[in-house]
Structure 1
Amino acid sequence: MDIHQFQEEVIQYSKEIGIDKIGFASADVFGELKARLKQQQEFGYQSGFEKGSVEERTEPDRLLPEAQSIISIALAYPSKMSDAPKSRKGDRRGIFCRASWGQDYHTVLRDRLNKLGEFLQAHYPEVTIKSMVDTGELADRAVAERAGIGFSGKNCATITPEFGSYVYLGEIVTNIPFIPDEPVDDSCGDCNICVDACPTDALIQGGQLNANRCIAFLTQTKDFLPDEFRSKIGNRLYGCDTCQTVCPKNRKKDFHRHEEFEPDPEIVKPKLTPLLSISNREFKEKFSPIAGSWRGKKPIQRNAILALAHYKDETSIQELIRLMKEDPRPVIRGTAAWGLGKIGKPECYQEIEEAMMHETDENVLYEMKKGLEFQKI
């Protein structure tokens, strides 16, 4: 088989099935990434969501022993929403990050990768493949960088010349010896806007992220949010777009190429107070199609409470009182108590004091005390 010709056929087919960009990389060890990951481990900068060992994440042949190359794909997603509802006093709304707009991208990219895999199998009978999207062992961004999809920006996102960093990534490891593409030159230059704009200083320096301080990670945790981040979260329910929206490479980048990624404004920018009483069934029916629901409703509800406290939304007081007194989950009870203190009306403090007489969980009592401390400010 003429690999050059077959590679061109793969590229052409990728366009037919809705892949916006495709690149090819060698299956060599990602040596530089391996050193960086080990350093991240030493510094305690990893989130804990990473899959696999450092070796599995950087040595493709551990995942597919006969690996000879990797196909990297990218699909562009929108950065702007038409007819976005406004967040107004008495009717506040939260926001899901752009990477969670529309249908869960894992599902969409797996569909494209499956079609591409079927094409490979139909034309190269002895092919072996392993596909991954985000949750696989290999680092999608490192593969995309090597395959010429884009360069790794100081905000740790893959920045493509065509679509900026608003792209989803996936890859196929294969035994087909495709010809590697040339990497894209890094063009951040002296720009440091994303590092300076990071709300929590999670970007230690260009290209180095402390995931434990990143709002995108923090919004997905299920425990009490550390105090230092509560005033930083704003109305974010899932994820954070700051380091992307400030990036000059993303200026005027807004692509609506895939219907699956078009956002439903009422889902990705929902009213906050109704989220506090939503049932498991209602949550699943409304939010399960989007990527931001993968951790369940508890983190979303906790973040909604923090957002209401951020706005000092007095219309939510009665609902927060109900949660503080009745919700079976300590994180929700305690966060509601803290939120009431932040809102700061006299009735809030009275209700916290009353609830303290019946509360038995030490963590919740601690949050109640912190809520009462707002009286002194």
Structure 2
Amino acid sequence: MNTNQLRQEIIDYSKEIGIDKIGFASADVFESLKDRLKRQQELGFQSGFEKGSVEERTEPERLMPEAKSIISIALAYPSRIKNGPKSTKEERRGVFCRASWGTDYHDVLREKLDKLSQFIKEKIPEAATKVMVDTGELSDRAVAERAGIGFSGKNTAIITPEFGSYVYLGELITNLSFESDTPLEDGCGTCTKCLDACPTGALVQGGQLNAQRCLAFLTQTKDFMPDEFRSKIGNFIYGFDTCQAVCPYNKRVDFHNHPEFEPEPEVAKPKLKPMLSLSNREFKETFGHIAGSWRGKKPLQRNALIALAHYKDETAVDEIIRVMNHDPRPVIRGTAAWSLGKIGTDEAYSAIKDAKEHEEDDQVLAEMDKGLEFQKTSSA
């Protein structure tokens, strides 16, 4: 079988198994990406979540010595929750970013890529493949860009003509040679809406991200959130997608092509107070199947405390006091104290002062002092 015929059969089969978009690229070195990544390292802009060295992330042959081509796929996901629950004064809610609605996309894309891999090997038994989704060394976005899936927007997301940037990406490296698709032309032009909307200046310039200032990254960290970012995340408890929401290519884009990605309203927009008392088992049962659970419950509970402070939710004071007094984790106790100060009731301030008497952790004590500072500024 010649590769042109196989290429078309792969495209046809990809539609059968629910892949929304597919493209083919060479396995040549990603030279311009290599330069960008080295520059990111020099500037300290990396998140620390990246896998592999710069060379492994830009040289496909390091991952598969016989690599000739890369097949890139994209699956569209919804941007709106049908009949989403409303946050009320009695029951404030947090929100997961759109990319964490529904079943963990890593699992869904990997299953489809495995099917694609099996299909290829049935046609060409000597074919070799390597599947990657997000957690692999290669940059999904660089592969997708080269394969003509979409262009790389100023918000650093791949923007497709059909689905905007609301797509999950994955790829398959193979030792087969396929004709490459043509990359799309940049479509951002002079638009700077994403740069203007970024609340922390994380988008340093079009296409360059300082991950250390990106709220999507910061919601996934496990330590105390730096002070300057706490007022910025609002009620996001995982991820942050304002830079996608403001993009003109995403206007009125809302695809519901895959039942697996349909948001469960009570999971995508959970009540905040119950999150503070989740056991490990309850957390796994409720959130374990979504992408936003990968860092465990601690970051989400910390962010829930920050969200309750954002709302100045006085109905949560008793529960937050309980957390401050009894949670064994310093980050959670300290953030609870800060949250109480931000909410600012007399009961909250009194509880912080009492808790200071028996707190021994220096970082928690520092957060308690921050919480009490709000009392000074509010009465000044």
Query: How far, CA to CA, are the matches of 1:154 and 1:9 in structure 2?
Result: 34
Does the aligned pair in 2 maintain the 1:109–1:133 contact within 8 Å?
Answer: yes
Q: Which residue of the partner structure matches residue 143 of structure 1? A: 143
What letter corresponds to residue 101 of structure 1 in structure 2? W
Question: Which residue of 2 is the match for residue 190 of structure 1?
Answer: 190
1:103 counterpart residue number: 103
Aligned counterparts of 1:144 and 1:182: Cα–Cα separation in 2:
11
Deviation at 1:2, TM superposition (A): 1.4
2:372 is matched with which residue?
A: 372
In the alignment, residue 88 of structure 2 is paired with which amino acid? R
- 1:257 aligns with 257
Corresponding residue for 2:269?
A: 269
Q: TM-score, normalised by structure 2?
A: 0.99
Q: Deviations over 1:185-222 (max 9, x none)?
A: 11100000000100111100110000011111000000
Q: What SS is found at the alignment partner of 1:84? A: coil
Q: Which amino acid aligns with 2:336?
A: A
| RMSD after superposition | 0.5
Structure 1 residue 346: Cα displacement: 1.2
TM superposition shift of 1:20: 0.4
Instruction: State the one-letter code of the partner of 2:214.
Output: C
Cα deviation for residue 63 of structure 1 reads 0.2
Contact residue 90 and residue 314 of structure 1 kept, 8 A: no
Partner of 2:75: 75
1:83-232 matched pairs, under 5 angstroms: 83-232=83-232
1:299 lines up with 2:299 in the alignment: yes
Cα displacement string for residues 317-347 of structure 1 (whole angstroms, at most 9, x for unaligned residues): 0011111111100000000000000001111
Structure 1: unaligned runs, 5 residues or longer: none
CA drift of 1:313 comes to 0.1
Q: Which secondary structure state, in structure 1, belongs to the residue aligned with residue 39 of structure 2?
A: helix
Alignment partner, residue 30 of structure 2: 30
Name the CA distance, whole Å, in 2 between partners of 1:345 and 1:21.
53
Structure 1's consecutive aligned runs of 4 or more residues displaced over 6 angstroms after TM superposition are none
The one-letter amino acid paired with 2:139 is A
Shift of 1:62: 0.2
Measured against aligned partners, the alpha-carbon deviations of 1:283-337 in whole angstroms (never above 9, x if no partner) come to: 0001001000011100000000000000000000001111111110000000000
What is the SS of the residue equivalent to 1:74? strand
- 1:95 Cα deviation from its structure 2 partner: 0.1
Distance in 2 separating the partners of 1:145 and 1:336: 43
Structure 2 residue matching 1:164: 3-state secondary structure = coil
Q: 2: CA distance between counterparts of 1:10 and 1:296?
A: 37
DSSP 3-state at the match of 1:10: helix
Cα distance in 2, alignment partners of residues 189 and 174 from structure 1: 34
- How far off is 1:88 after superposition? 1.2
Tell me the distance in 1 between the aligned counterparts of 2:65 and 2:208.
31
Q: Does structure 2 retain, via aligned residues, the 8 Å contact 1:60–1:67? A: yes
Matched residue, 2:63: 63
Task: Give the TM-score normalised by the residue count of structure 1.
Answer: 1.00
- Offset at 1:3? 1.2
TM-superposition CA deviations, 1:322-377 (whole Å, max 9, x none) = 11111100000000000000001111111111100000000000000000000122
* C-alpha distance after superposition, 1:233-270 (max 9, x if no partner): 10001001100000001111110000000010000100
> Match of 1:9?
9
- SS of 1:360's partner is coil
User: What is the CA deviation profile of residues 62-92 of structure 1, one whole-angstrom value per residue up to 9, with x for unaligned ones?
Assistant: 0000000000000000001101000111210
1:244 counterpart residue number: 244
**Letter matched to residue 113 of structure 2:** L
Whole-Å Cα distance in 2 between the matches of residues 327 and 81 of structure 1? 33
Determine whether 1:18 maps to 2:29: no
| Equivalent-residue separation in structure 1 for 2:97 and 2:206 (angstroms) | 22
| Identity across matched positions, percent | 71
Deviation at 1:5, TM superposition (A): 1.0
The whole-number CA distance in structure 2 between the counterparts of 1:278 and 1:173 is 41
- Please tell me whether the aligned partners of residues 352 and 372 of structure 1 are also in contact (alpha carbons under 8 angstroms): yes
Give, as a single letter, the amino acid of the residue that structure 2 aligns with 1:68.
Answer: K
| Corresponding residue number in structure 2 for 1:318 | 318
Q: Work out the CA distance in 1 between the residues paired with 2:3 and 2:327.
A: 61
* Aligned-partner SS, 2:74: strand
AA at the equivalent of 1:37: L
What amino acid maps onto 1:34 in structure 2? K
SS in 2 for 1:72: strand
Could you tell me how far apart the structure 2 residues matched to 1:223 and 1:256 are? 36
Supply the AA of the counterpart residue of 1:67: A
Query: Does the residue aligned with 2:171 lie in a helix, a strand or coil?
Result: strand
Q: CA deviation at 1:227?
A: 0.1
Q: Confirm or deny: 8 A CA contact 1:51 1:136 kept in the other structure.
A: yes
Paired letter, 1:334: G
CA distance in 1 between counterparts of 2:306 and 2:215 reads 13
